[in-house]
Amino acid sequence: MKRIRVEGIVQGVGFRPFIYNLAKSYNLKGYVKNCGTYVEIVVSGDNIESFIKDIERKKPELAKINKIVVEDFEGNEFSDFYILESDGFGGNSAIPPDIAICNLCLKEMFDKKDRRYRYPFISCINCGPRFTITEKLPFDRENTSMKDFPLCEECLKEYEDPRDRRFHAQTTCCPKCGPRVFLNDKEGDEAIKEAIKLLEKGKILAIKGIGGYHLFCRADRDEPVLRLREILNRPSQPFAVMSLIEEVKKFAILSKEEEILLTSRERPIVVLKKSKDYYLSEYVSNLDTVGVMLPYTGLHYLLFNKVPAYVATSANLPGLPMAIDEGEIVKLKVDGYLMHNRRIINRCDDSVVKYIAGRAIFLRRSRGYVPEPIEVEIKNDFTFLCVGAELNSTVCLVKGNKFYLSQHIGNTSKYETFLFLKEAIKRLMELTNTDKIDFIVSDLHPLYNSTKLAEELSEKFNVPLIKVQHHFAHGYSLLGDNNYFDECIILALDGLGYGLDGKIWGGEILKFDSGKFKRVGHLEEQYQPGGDLAVKYPFRMLLSILYKAIGDEVFEKFEVNKILEMQIKKRINSPITTSTGRVLDAISSLLDICQEKTYEGEPAIRLEGRAKEFNIEVEPKIKNNILLTTPLVEECYNMLINKEPIEKIAYYSLIYLADGLFEIAKKFSDTIGITGGVSYNKIIVERIKERCEEEKIKFLYHSRVPNGDGGISFGQGLGGYFWSL
C-alpha cells in the first residue's frame, strides 16, 4: 500500500474526481482527500507505478503539480476507492484563480431544453469562481461562500456521480438551489432582461460580478460614457470595454497572440490598437489604444443583445478598492443595481495586459492569475512577507521558492485601500496556511503607509524588518521574473522612488553583481518646483528644465505668474529628481498633449500615444554616465518653434532616452534589462531591445510579474532573499 502526497494547484480543479476515476480504471482500492493545502492519496493493488505516472501525465487541465511524494503505508485494506471528507492539516499548495465560464456550460446556458437555461451562475468542475469565494482551505463548498446554497436533489445527484462533469464540483448549482440576481423589484431572468432594457436605453448600472462590482454602460454612445466619467470623477483615464470577439475585431486590431489571450480562461483586459473602423465613443479612450475584455461569467454573456460593446469599469472612486457589497456601491448615483446574493470573500480587480517586444506583459496581475504562485529558481528556507510600495500596490508572501503575489490593491495612501492592504495580507496568510513569518520587507520610503505597517508587523511577529530601495526592488523583480542572477545592468525607470541619498530617483542605471545592486548612472538631476504639484501639473517641470537651458527667456515665451517664476529661479520647495516620468511629463506639456495629470502616468502615456515613427538621427548627450535631459527638452522646444510635427517631436524624445540609456548601460555589461513604469512604453522598450540585438547583448524584460509598482512586492521578495544569504 502506498500513500501519495500531491502539492500544487490541486484543489478546485477537479483533481479528486480525476484521481477517483483514474484509480477505478486501474482497479485500485483506497481513498483520496483534501488535507488542508495538499491532496492525500492512499492506494493498494497492482499497477500503482503506472497510476502515479498517469497522475502527472493525465492531470486535469487546470491542475498544476509542484511535488509528488510517495511512501510506503501500513493500514487497513479498503474494499473500494473513495473520496473522503477533507482534513485541515497543513501543507504547501494553493487554490486556483477564478476561471472564465467554459464552452460546455455556455452551451447549456443557451439551451432551452437544459434545466440551467439562462441561469447566470452555471459552472462545473472546469470553470467558475475560485479565489474570490474562498474563505479558507481545503477548497470544499463549506469553506466558500457557496456554503450558503445547499445543493438541491438534482444537483446533489450530479455532484455524486463520477461520470458527471459536476462530480465534486464545489461551485455547482442551479436555479432551484443557487444564487439569485435582483434588480429593483425583479428577480432572476426578469431582472436580467430589465437590466438589458436599461442599458440599451443608455442607462448606467452597477453590476455585481465575481470579484466586485462593475459599472456598465453603452460604449457606443457619448452621453452615458460622459456621465459615467462625472460619477467616477475620472475625466480622462481610459475605460475598459467588454464585447464579444466578433465585435472586437470590428473596432480593434487583433493579432493571433492577442486573440488567444482574450479568449483564454484567464480573460484579462488586453490593450489593443484601435482600428480604422473604430466606432465606439471617443470618450471611452483618448489614446490610440483601447482596453478590451470578453465576457467571463454567465451573467456577462446574458447581457449582450443589441448593444455591441459595454464600458465595464471597476465600481470605485479613484484610489479606492473595488466595491464588493451593497453598502459600498449605493454611494455611486447610478440608474440601477443588478445584484446577487453570493458573498464575495476576496475582492479582485480585472487583470490588464499589453503586448510589447513580442510578449504579453502585465500592467495589472489580478483576476485569473491570483493566487497562483510564481516560482523562482532559488533555494530559500525562510517564509517572509513583502508589503510593496504605495501606488498600484500588491503584497507578496514568499515561502521557499514560491512567491504568492496578491491581487491588485491600489493606492495605500487612501485609508480604505490601506485597510484592504491589511485584509489582503491576512487572507494571503490564511490561504497559504502560514502562521509563522521570519522577517518583513518594505520600501525604503519612511512615509509610505506600507512602510509604517511593515514596522508594526515587525514588532507584532518580533522579526527583523528589511527595507529595500524602490528601484533596487524593481531590478530584483526583473531578475526573479527571468530567473537570471548573473552580473547585468538594469534600467529602472519610473516616476519616483525614495533614493539612497534622500532624493527622488526615477531614471536609474543599476549594476547587479553577487546579489547586490549599485547605482552606476542615472538621468540628469532636475528640480521639481512645488514637489507633488509638479507631478500634477507638468508645465512646472517644463519651466524648470527650460530655465536651465535658456534662462529668463522661458518666462518671456510662456505666461508664468510671479510666484512660480520666483520659485523656479530660487529653487524654493523644489526637490531634486532623476525621474524619467517627470522628463516625459515636461515634453507632454511642451507639446500641449497633457497639462494636468488625472491618473497615474497620464502625461507620459498620452505622449507615447501621439508619437509616430520617423527616420531621425539622435545624438544623446552623456556626461560621466549621466544622460543629460536638459538638452533633450531644449531640442524638443527648438523643434516645436521650427514647426516640426508633434508626432515627430514626441518620437524623438522617446528615442533620445532609449538610445542614451542604452549607450551608458552597454559600457558595464553584455546583459541589459529594463523595468519600472516607463518600461510599459512600447517605443522605448522595443528600441532598446533592437539595439541589444544589433550589438549581441542579452535583453531582459518582464513576462510573469508587472513591470510597474505592482511588481515591487515581488522584487522586495528577491531583495529579502539575498539579504538572508
Do 544 and 678 belong to one domain?
yes
Listed in sequence order, the residues at least 6 apart from 238 whose beta carbon sits closer than 8 Å to its beta carbon are: 284, 285, 286, 287, 289, 290, 291
What is the mean pLDDT of the segment spanning 211-232?
Answer: 97
Average pLDDT estimate for 103-129: 97
Answer yes or no: do 547 and 694 share one domain. Answer: yes
- The parent domain of residue 718 ranges over 365-482+709-724
CA 402, 407, 413, 414 torsion-angle sign = negative
Binning pLDDT at 50, 70 and 90, where does residue 36 land? low
- Whether residues 530 and 606 share a domain: the answer is yes
Residues 720 and 666 in one domain: no
Question: Of 318, 353, 388, at which residue does a domain stop?
Answer: 353
Please determine, for residue 87, whether its predicted confidence score (pLDDT) is greater than 80.
Answer: no
Model pLDDT for residues 467-501, shown as the tens digit of each residue: 999 999 999 999 999 999 999 999 999 999 999 99
pLDDT in tens, 122-132: 999 999 999 99
CA 467 to CA 446: how far, in whole Å? Answer: 10
Burial of residue 606 (number of CB atoms within 10 Å: 0-12, 13-18, 19+) = buried
| 509 within some domain | no
Give 46's contacts (C-beta < 8 A, 6+ positions apart): 26, 27
Are 36 and 90 a contacting pair, CB within 8 Å?
Answer: yes
**Domain at 424, CATH number:** 3.30.420.360
Does the pLDDT value for residue 66 go beyond 90?
Answer: no
Same-domain check for residues 644 and 719: no
Last residue of a domain, which of 327, 353, 379? 353
What is the C-alpha separation between 442 and 395, in angstroms, rounded?
10
Question: Annotated catalytic, 16?
Answer: yes
Tell me, yes or no, whether 532 and 665 share the same domain.
Answer: yes
Same domain, 236 and 349: yes
- The answer to whether position 47 is within a domain reads yes
How far, in Å, CA of 19 to CA of 13, rounded? 12
One-character DSSP codes across 671-720: EEEEESGGGG-HHHHHHHHHHHHHTT-EEE--SSS-SSGGGHHHHHHHHH
Number of domains in the chain: 4
Per-residue confidence at 34, pLDDT binned at 50, 70, 90? Answer: confident
Question: Counting Cβ atoms within 10 Å, is residue 237 exposed (0-12), middle (13-18) or buried (19+)?
Answer: middle
In a domain, 153, yes or no: no
Structure confidence at residue 548 as a pLDDT band (50, 70, 90): very high
Task: State whether 381 and 431 are in the same domain.
Answer: yes
Same domain, 313 and 388: no
Q: Which of 5, 21, 27, 34 is catalytic?
A: 34
Answer yes or no: are the C-beta atoms of 131 and 98 closer than 8 Å: yes
Q: Identity (one letter) of the amino acid at 228?
A: L
Domain co-membership, 441 together with 543: no
Structure confidence at residue 180 as a pLDDT band (50, 70, 90) = very high
Rounded Cα distance between 474 and 464, Å, is: 22
Measured between alpha carbons, how far is residue 605 from residues 54, 306, 429, 583, 612 in Å? 49, 33, 36, 13, 14
Burial class (CB in 10 A: 0-12, 13-18, 19+), 236: middle
Q: Give percent above pLDDT 70 in the chain.
A: 99
Lookup: cell for 129:
469562481
- Position 255 in a domain: yes
- What are the residues facing 504 on neighbouring strands? 498, 577
What average pLDDT does this structure show over 164-192? Answer: 96
Domain boundary among 353, 383, 400: 353
Verify whether residue 143 is a known catalytic residue. Answer: no
Sign of CA pseudo-dihedral 71, 73, 79, 82: negative
pLDDT mean over 565-592 = 97
In a domain, 98, yes or no: no
Q: Which of 16, 166, 218, 691 is catalytic?
A: 16
Could you tell me which residue, 332 or 618, shows the higher pLDDT?
618
